[in-house]
Structure 1
Amino acid sequence: MSIELLDEADHDLAPDQLDELVGISRYVLEQMRVHPQAELCLRLVDEPTMAVLHEQWMDLPGPTDVMSFPMDELRPGRDGQEPVEGVLGDIVLCPSVATAQAATAGHAPIEEMLLLTTHGILHLLGFDHAEPEEEREMFELQRQLMLTYLAGRGREAAKG
């Protein structure tokens, strides 16, 4: 997998936390059986930049936490099917919005960023939450991916 991280934001994330954003991206793409040569770009931006994107693409005011911009409309691999190679797309994250949301939710900013990265990748893979059934499916998958990733992260730390 080719995962590029463009850090254009002022934030308090440490280099190992930035690496973890790439790590969860790789994990989610592998779990979703995306082609190993697929390309993904993670872009961290400030609030003014995110506000412009949010207005331009969603016609909504102010910054948001995450936006996804699919390219080749890749889908998860399925049993008996070879995954398609291509450019998955871009995920744009706003660390300052994520940090505020994390404080409200009572967890660490990096956990919010990991969740948002997972959420963004699922959008790139065609998942949505506009309808109640779609929302249940997407959020359950997102929850499972986060839980298994975090459990694996704990096992890796224990190996130390």
Structure 2
Amino acid sequence: MSVELTNRSGALVPEKQMHSLLNFGITYMELHPDCAISLTFVDVTEMEELHIKWMDESGPTDVLSFPMDLPEHDGEIVTLGDIVIAPAVAAKQAKDAGHSTEAEIYILATHGLLHILGYDHADPDEEKVMFALQEKIVKEWSQK
């Protein structure tokens, strides 16, 4: 498993924990051990640009996910997709939720991973399943 992490946000982010969490999530979801994921932290301006370009929605968002079209696994590392997080947005949400920015970033990274794997929260039933799963993954990872 491979996690490629890039930080263009200007904020300090829990890099070591992000590698651990995403590797845990990949294992938890029983994905092939030779898969990879890209995680990028960006500032609010870049996140807003991405949000407009890819979602046609104004303003910054907290996390965006970009799943890759997965080819047949032929012994090569397969990239599952890209997760992009805005730590400044996460910090505001964390304050509103009453927990740390790091805790919010863990939730967002797991949320992004689940989106890459096809989970969604467009309707209440999907949301219930996805949010329960992301909470379970973060909780089990934090207790290991």
User: What band does the TM-score fall into relative to the shorter chain?
Assistant: over 0.9
Mapped contact 1:73–1:125 kept (Cα < 8 A): no
* C-alpha distance in 2 between matches for 1:123 and 1:67: 9
Give the CA RMSD over aligned residues.
Answer: 1.5
| 1:107 counterpart (77, 83, 99) | 99
Partner residue, 1:9: 9
Q: Give the CA deviation at 1:12.
A: 3.4
Partner AA of 2:69 in structure 1: D
Count of aligned residue pairs for this structure pair: 140
Note the residue ranges of structure 1 that are not aligned, 5 or more in a row: 75-84, 153-160
Q: Where in structure 2 are the equivalents of 1:41-120 lying within 5 Å?
A: 41-73=38-70, 86-120=78-112
Mapped contact 1:72–1:86 kept (Cα < 8 A): no
Residues 1:122 and 2:109 aligned together: no
Partner residue, 2:34: 37
Q: Give the CA deviation at 1:144.
A: 0.9
Partner residue, 2:130: 138
* C-alpha distance in 2 between matches for 1:86 and 1:54: 26
TM-score in terms of structure 2 length: 0.92
Residues 1:12 and 1:3: Cα distance change in structure 2 (over 3 Å) = closer
SS in 2 for 1:9: coil
Q: Give the CA deviation at 1:31.
A: 0.3
* C-alpha distance in 2 between matches for 1:54 and 1:118: 19
TM-score in terms of structure 1 length: 0.83
Partner residue, 1:82: none
SS in 2 for 1:100: helix
Q: Give the CA deviation at 1:57.
A: 0.7
* C-alpha distance in 1 between matches for 2:57 and 2:20: 31
- TM superposition outliers: structure 1 runs of 4+ over 2 Å: none
Calculate percent identity across the aligned residue pairs.
Answer: 42
Q: Give the CA deviation at 1:11.
A: 1.0
Q: Give the CA deviation at 1:73.
A: 4.8
Partner residue, 2:141: 149
CA deviation map 1:91-130 (0-9, x unaligned): 0000000011111111111100000000000000000010
